């Protein structure tokens, strides 16, 4: 699709400086701009590229003053970065605006399907499953029996949703993620470490985004729960009966063991591991590669290390740890003097 500078300026409530009829059909970084592309300038460090870019249209701040001639058409707005982010969102909506059911998609007769859905090639929807309005089911998605998928949720290619899973509205689940697989529970007292049946489910509330290749296990009994607004990066494992509170963010390679309860508005950096049956207070921040082995009861604390403890104390302790070799040498010298 093509848009003119005039159309873009109207969408952003900006003013045009240059050719209002010039059109663009793609977006680009300012230093990589090509004819027919739209870019933006927000960081002053990139100003030099404005004078050499081949982008047809560049969004700039209203108060920007050019020091050299500019060949691109400029659209002046209050905040160039915010305006460009808005265009990215609109562009993505247009790109992903798919509807219709592919001939080789299979939807069981007992499933209830909403309006304006998309189901790509070889997608499968199981028995007694309910699909809301505007849901997008990309190719090779599997949705098992007795599931609920809320309005305007998107399941990208290759997502697997096991039976009884409930997913809310406006969720995004990226390729390769598996939701509702069995929790990891076996009975070591039973001959052969007999598997304990996992008969619970997974409940995902509204506005949740889950990255690629994540695994969210079903509960043994009850539900594994991701509350409203949770955001997951790629490659995250959530074990059986875990509950993650509203608006909590977890970066890549995070692992939370069974039955742990995580509070609201927490932020976990990459490769954080949390053992089972713990309570993590609201607004907790955990730095990268930390291991949490006991509950965090005070809201708003920052933890670091493995096993993790208060980040400020950890940084001070690390100074001594880094100098252990020198300290050991000094002790050895003192011991030698005492024995001579």
Quick one: DSSP state of residue 296? B
Strand partners, 161: 143, 179
Q: Which helix (H) or strand (E) holds 226?
A: strand 223-226
**CA geometry: angle at 237 spanning 183 and 225, to 5°?**
65
**CA geometry: angle at 175 spanning 173 and 178, to 5°?**
70
Alpha carbons 170 and 172: distance in angstroms, whole number: 7
Strand partners, 305: 308
Distance of CA 36 to the CA centre of its chain: 31
Alpha carbons 56 and 43: distance in angstroms, whole number: 19
Using DSSP, state whether 89 is helix, strand or coil: helix
Query: Which residues have C-beta within 8 Å of that of residue 295, sequence separation ≥ 6?
Result: 278, 279, 280
Indicate which residues carry an active-site annotation.
240
- Helix axis angle, 5-12 to 80-95, nearest 10°: 110
Alpha carbons 49 and 107: distance in angstroms, whole number: 52
Query: Which residues have C-beta within 8 Å of that of residue 131, sequence separation ≥ 6?
Result: 111, 112, 113, 114, 117, 125, 137, 143, 149
Q: Which two tokens stand for residue 288?
A: 């990268």
| Residue of 234, 255, 253 whose CA lies nearest to 244 | 255
If one counts every other C-beta atom within 10 angstroms of the C-beta of residue 144, the result is 18
CA distances to 84, 86, 224, 259 from 252, in Å: 27, 26, 19, 20
Using DSSP, state whether 83 is helix, strand or coil: helix
């Amino acid at each position: 699709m093509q848009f003119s500078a005039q159309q873009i300026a109207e969408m952003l409530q900006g003013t045009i400086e240059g050719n209002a009829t010039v059109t663009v059909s793609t977006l680009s970084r300012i230093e990589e701009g090509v004819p027919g592309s739209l870019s933006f300038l927000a960081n002053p460090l990139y100003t030099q590229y404005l004078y050499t870019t081949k982008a047809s249209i560049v969004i700039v701040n209203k108060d920007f003053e050019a020091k050299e001639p500019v060949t691109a058409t400029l659209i002046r707005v209050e905040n160039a970065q915010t305006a460009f982010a808005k265009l990215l969102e609109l562009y993505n909506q247009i790109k992903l605006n798919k509807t219709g059911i592919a001939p080789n998609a299979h939807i069981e007769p007992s499933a209830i399907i909403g309006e304006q859905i998309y189901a790509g090639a070889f997608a499968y929807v199981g028995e007694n499953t309910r699909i809301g309005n505007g849901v997008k089911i990309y190719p090779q998605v599997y949705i098992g029996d007795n599931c609920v998928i809320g309005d305007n949720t998107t399941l990208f290619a290759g997502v697997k949703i096991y039976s009884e899973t409930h997913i809310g509205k406006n969720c995004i689940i990226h390729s390769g993620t598996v939701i509702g697989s069995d929790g990891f529970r076996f009975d070591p007292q039973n001959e052969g470490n007999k598997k304990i049946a996992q008969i619970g489910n997974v409940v995902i509330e509204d506005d949740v985004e889950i990255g690629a290749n994540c695994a969210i296990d079903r509960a043994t009994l009850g539900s594994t729960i991701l509350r409203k607004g949770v955001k997951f990066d790629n490659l995250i494992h959530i074990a059986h009966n875990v509950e993650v509170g509203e608006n909590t963010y977890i970066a890549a390679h995070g692992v939370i063991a069974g039955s742990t309860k995580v509070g609201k508005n927490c932020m976990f950096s990459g490769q954080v591991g949390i053992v089972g049956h713990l309570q993590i207070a609201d607004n907790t921040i955990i730095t990268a590669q930390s291991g949490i082995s006991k509950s965090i009861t005070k809201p708003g604390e920052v933890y670091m290390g493995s096993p993790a403890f208060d980040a400020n104390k950890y940084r001070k302790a690390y100074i001594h740890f880094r100098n252990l070799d020198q300290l050991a040498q000094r002790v050895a010298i003192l011991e030698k003097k005492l024995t001579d």
